[in-house]
Amino acid sequence: MSEPESWRRFDLALPTPEHELLAASVREFVAREVEPQAAFHDREERFNLALFRRAGELGFLGVTLPERYGGAGLDATAAVLLCEILSTSDPGFCLSVLAHSILFAQNLAVNGDELQKKRILPRVACGEWVGGLCMTEPEVGTDVLALRTRAQREGDHYRLEGTKTFITNGGVDDGVLGDVFIVYAATKPGEITALLVEKGMPGFRLGQKWRDKLGMRSSFTAELVFEGVRVPLANRLGEEGEGAVQMMRNLEIERLTLAGMSLGIAQRCLEVMLRHAGERKAFGRPIRDFGQIQRYIGEGFAEYRAARALVYDVARRFDPARAGQRVEADAAKLFAAQMGKRVADAAIQVLGGYGYMGEYVVERLWRDAKLLEIGGGTLEAHQKNLTRDLSRRPDRIRG
């Protein structure tokens, strides 16, 4: 299927034939199935479960998972590529895919034991189960060591008490929980343990669904409540107290893929404003002939390409199973997130009143772009991490 003219790509050469094939498959999926539903599900604030399961059928929910668990066995570059292309159309849907495939599935693939992986990952990779991650709480965000959710060891199980909020994939519809979650809870003061919590466990329920969000409206964001949930020891990831290390390692690839989402938003906004600037006339000339418009397009494109080079350079060298890559991941997301929002803002400015209207796409993308400056680590958290890490290892500045 040929792409519409408005979807011209500003691509870097992809490193392998497998990446080229993945990119072509995802673009076709986006053009045929994602784009036609994107505006509706954003407007209705509804998660498209059928489309999500279709993504599973096509192999897009487990690109980094080993093939023996139903994945594609690809790398961080593939994960970034998937998120970039999905986000040219529906960043909210992409966010649900990312929370499922990276925050949950990739996390489990690295930190789980063989029995856990064999039992759960094939059902997650195909989309039968919807997964997510539970870290943020009503009174705890960046300060993860202050978690108030508690897991008390009682013989052969943990008793889990607490509330998590802003959980992507917390539900799939009103009153319907997601299927399986990695939940971070305090087992001792300053000690965090990761537990697998599954739908149907007594005491586990869906709380408030967050409605009327600024953006990412096609993802389901909810509060999850744990009231004396009995979690078997077999559902613990690693040893007790290892949760903080597992969390930080997984946040690195999360930040890299979120940066990929910003690239997709910027790419689509550039395409829309470039087309509009050629079609819209003022004083008898296309507005692309005017310096003010040229600045938005030219600088936006330069920033997009700079961000894309950074993100894919980090992805190329990224090992999802290895810790200690925070400097690169934080830098990629810090730069890309701000770039994506700036380019979306420029697109609205170039389109003028049309850019302010929902049917012209950039309004929705502008709203979606803001989350990437908050979710997965705020801009301020990235700035703090980078300053601290580079102060400890100034040699990292040279690469």
- The string of pLDDT tens digits covering residues 74-106 is 999 999 999 999 999 999 999 999 999 999 999
Cα–Cα distance for residue pair 34/360, rounded to 1 Å: 16
Q: With the CA atoms of 235, 241, 242 and 247 taken in that order, what torsion angle do they form, in degrees rounded to the nearest 10? A: 90
- Kind of pairing between the strands at 236-237 and 281-282: unpaired
Other Cβ atoms closer than 10 A to 22: 23
Q: Please tell us whether the domain made up of 5-125 is placed in CATH 3.40.50.150.
A: no
Give the pLDDT confidence score for residue 140 in this predicted structure: 77
- Helix orientation angle between 243-279 and 291-316, rounded to the nearest 10 degrees: 150
Instruction: Report the 10 Å Cβ neighbour count for 155.
Output: 7
CA distance linking residue 18 with residue 313, whole number of Å: 17
CA dihedral 282, 283, 289, 291 (to 10 degrees): -90
pLDDT for the residue 12: 53
Q: Which pTM was predicted?
A: 0.94
Q: How far apart (Å, rounded) are the C-alpha atoms in residues 157 and 193? A: 13
Distance (Å) of CA 50 to CA 57, 84, 129: 11, 21, 12
pLDDT (tens place) for every residue of the chain, 399 residues total? 333 433 334 355 567 889 999 999 999 999 999 999 999 999 999 999 999 999 999 999 999 999 999 999 999 999 999 999 999 999 999 999 999 999 999 999 999 999 999 999 999 999 999 999 999 999 876 777 779 999 999 999 999 999 999 999 999 998 899 999 999 999 998 899 999 999 999 999 999 999 999 999 999 999 999 999 999 999 999 999 999 999 999 999 999 999 999 999 999 999 999 999 999 999 999 999 999 999 999 999 999 999 999 999 999 999 877 777 999 999 999 999 999 999 999 999 999 999 999 888 999 999 999 999 999 999 999 999 999 999 999 988 886
CA distance 177 to 174: 8
Nearest to residue 180, comparing CAs of 171, 189, 193? Answer: 171
136 contacts 166 by C-beta, under 8 angstroms: yes
- What is the distance between the alpha carbons of residues 127 and 123, in angstroms, rounded to a whole number? 6
**Among 223, 254, 271, 363, the one annotated catalytic:** 254
**Tokens at 174, concatenated:** 């009103």
For tokens 């008390």, name the residue: 152
Determine the pLDDT at residue 7. Answer: 37
> What stretch(es) of the chain map to CATH 2.40.110.10?
131-241
* pLDDT at residue number 68: 97
Domain with CATH 1.20.140.10 in the chain: 244-398
How would you write the chain as a 3-class SS string?
CCCCHHHCCCCCCCCCHHHHHHHHHHHHHHHHHHHHHHHHHHHHCCCCHHHHHHHHHCCCCCCCCCHHHCCCCCCHHHHHHHHHHHHCCCHHHHHHHHHHHHHHHHHHHHHCCHHHHHHHHHHHHCCCCCEEEECCECCECCCHHHCCCEEEEECCEEEEEEEEEEEECCEEECCEECCEEEEEEEEECCEEEEEEEECCCCCEEEEEECCCCCCCCCCCEEEEEEEEEEEEHHHEECCCCCHHHHHHHHHHHHHHHHHHHHHHHHHHHHHHHHHHHHHCEECCEEHHHCHHHHHHHHHHHHHHHHHHHHHHHHHHCCCCCCCCCHHHHHHHHHHHHHHHHHHHHHHHHHHHHHHHCHHHCHHHHHHHHHHCCCCCCCHHHHHHHHHHHHHHCHHHHHC
Outline which parts of the chain fall under CATH 1.10.540.10: 5-125
CA distances from 262 to 64, 90, 266, 304, 306 (A): 20, 12, 6, 9, 12
CATH fold of 131-241: Butyryl-CoA Dehydrogenase, subunit A; domain 2 (2.40.110)
**254 is an active site residue:** yes
| Contact residues for 317 (Cβ-Cβ < 8 A; gap 6+) | 328
pLDDT in the model for residue 355 = 95
CATH code of the region 244-398: 1.20.140.10
